[in-house]
Amino acid sequence: MEWLSVKQLRDKIKNSEISSVTATKAVFKRIAKIEPTIGAYISTFEKSALDKAEEVDKRIAKGEPVGKLAGVPVAIKDNMCTTFGTTTCASKILENFYSPYNATVIEKLLAADAVIVGKTNMDEFAMGSSTENSGLKRTINPWDTSRVPGGSSGGSAAAVAGRLCYASLGSDTGGSIRQPASFCGVVGLKPTYGRVSRFGLVAYGSSLDQIGPITRTVGDCALMMNVIAGYDPADSTSIDEKTAPVPDYLEKLDEPIRRLKIGTVPELNAGSDSDVQKAISGAIEVYKKLGTEIVEIEMPHFDYAIAAYYVIATAEASSNLARYDGVHYGHRTKNPKDYIEVYTKSRAEGFGKEVKRRIMLGTYALSSGYYDAYYLKALKVRNLIRGDFTKAFERCDCIMMPVSPTTAFKIGEKVDDPLKMYLSDIYTIAANLAGIPSISVPCGFDENNLPIGLQILSPAFSEDKLLRIARMLEAQTDWHKKKPVIS
């Protein structure tokens, strides 16, 4: 049963072939067994999950209408606010923080009758690429317990790959959905900026953050998007549906795009491991056989993406994280001398190393005298990168490249070298800077049997098309059917 897709399980629950309670109990049984190894969850909600499952089962028994995710156990990254349990962002500073409100996506999941199993581990405040920056616990990769699950949504990806839930939500500021999806052999979509409400998502880099699904199949990704996409009056940066209507992402999913033109950037791919290169080429071969055209494109400003990203994201983070000061909520230092010490000590004790590093970087970049040289310049680079994409999409429908230059690396391998860690985001951050959607879809394995993801990028608000393109590969390959063996 745990191998069913969201859609399959949902249909079986709706048809009363399987009860949601049975499915939910099975998930918790598996959590009891495997979670100690994987460490995907920061918190789980067995009681409220079973209550919800029971309620959905009852409504189905009575013939009442149920939502699009009726009775399906799902997980959410612990940076989305919930009125149940804590919302920690995997930080000591929010370890005991209880949100008084639900994020918009949580309301949407609940309205769709999803059963929320738990909240997943992540890099603290979503800052990281391996989930090793969690201030609360360690998560491993279900494919290899000595390796990282990727990050920052490592818990969400590991939970889906490890069958500790059927689907999950992650957040992606510079690759935080796609990279762990790629490392864990599942599907991860970062939607267009503004497509999914950020209200209730604890902000890291506000102009880059976007919530998206992590699932086992492209179809489940489309189904999750049907639930979470749309305008939210509480988020001024979400796009109204008159400007960009929200389609039914499942409707034409199995229809291949005719006369598809795929853009590739050969010199970019050259920067990744040979196994990764091979897998990407292999995927493109699959598309070629389907009669698509391959266009070589140029991304002249791609090289500057990492630099621009780490200025913009950290600048915004330095401001976004200013509120964690020990005054209103969260960790407060014991016996402060004065209010200045409430700030300095609470923050020194509550934040981890990487968070402090990024706050300092961002504070510096925004300081008077440096603003023009760093922040303003980064914004200019951002515009140039947007321009690169606009130009590229005049010649092709989508762009394909690796998600990450490597497969999942060893735990501890890069923790002492932040720059090396930052470089693992090289392929993913451009989509965030440009605000365009991007998906990671399984496309092979390396010599160590570690999954590899193909990244597909498409123009803003073309998620429907993007999902169809990803589905074309999935329909032709069995990569997504391979299962990690965890004892």
Partner 1 sequence: MSELQYKVLVGLEIHVHLCTKTKMFCGCELSFGEEANSRVCPVCLGMPGVLPVMNKQAFEYAVLVALALNCEIAKFTKWDRKGYYYPDLPKNYQISQYDLPLSANGFIEIPLESGKTKRIGIIRAHLEEDAGKNLHATGNFSQVDLNRAGTPLLEIVTEPDMNSAAEVRALAEELQRMVRYLGVSEADMQKGHMRFEPNVNLVIIKNGKEYKTPIVEIKNLNSFRALERSIEYEIGRQLERFLESGEVMEMGNKSTRGWDDVKEVTILQREKEEAHDYRYFPEPDLVPVELTEQWLKDIKSRLCELPIKKQMRYVNEYKLSDYDAGVLTAERATGEFFDEVVKADGEPKRVCNLLTQVGLKLANEKGCSVAELGVKPGALAQLAKMVEAGEISATASTTIFEEMVKTGKEPEIIAKELNLIQKSDAGELEKIVEQVLSENPKAVDDVKSGGKKSKKAEGFLLGQVMQKTRGQANPKVVSEIISKKLS
Catalytic center residues: 77, 152, 176
Site track 306-335 with partner 1 (rule: CB under 8 A), x = hit: ---------xx-xx--xxxx-xxx------
Residues 185-214 contacting partner 1, CB under 8 A: 198-203, 206-207
Asked if 433 interacts with partner 1 (CB under 8 A), we say no
| Contacting range for partner 1; rule: CB under 8 A; set: 4-12, 37-45, 80-88, 248-256 | 80-88
Asked if 43 interacts with partner 1 (CB under 8 A), we say no
In the list 6, 21, 23, 80, the residue contacting partner 1 (rule: CB under 8 A) is 80
Asked if 109 interacts with partner 1 (CB under 8 A), we say no
Site track 369-408 with partner 1 (rule: CB under 8 A), x = hit: --x---x---------------------------------
In the list 270, 368, 419, 485, the residue contacting partner 1 (rule: CB under 8 A) is 368
The β-bridge partners of 262 are: 294, 398
| Contacting range for partner 1; rule: CB under 8 A; set: 159-167, 218-226, 366-374, 461-469 | 366-374
In the list 94, 136, 221, 297, the residue contacting partner 1 (rule: CB under 8 A) is 94
| Beta carbon nearer to partner 1, 86 or 145 | 86
Asked if 343 interacts with partner 1 (CB under 8 A), we say yes
Residues 258-317 contacting partner 1, CB under 8 A: 315-316
Asked if 84 interacts with partner 1 (CB under 8 A), we say no
Asked if 101 interacts with partner 1 (CB under 8 A), we say yes
In the list 234, 348, 360, 373, the residue contacting partner 1 (rule: CB under 8 A) is 234
Least Cβ distance, residue 208 to partner 1 (angstroms): 9
Q: List residues near partner 1 by CB under 8 A.
A: 79-81, 87, 89, 94, 97, 99-101, 103, 198-203, 206-207, 233-237, 315-316, 318-319, 322-325, 327-329, 339, 342-343, 363, 366-368, 371, 375
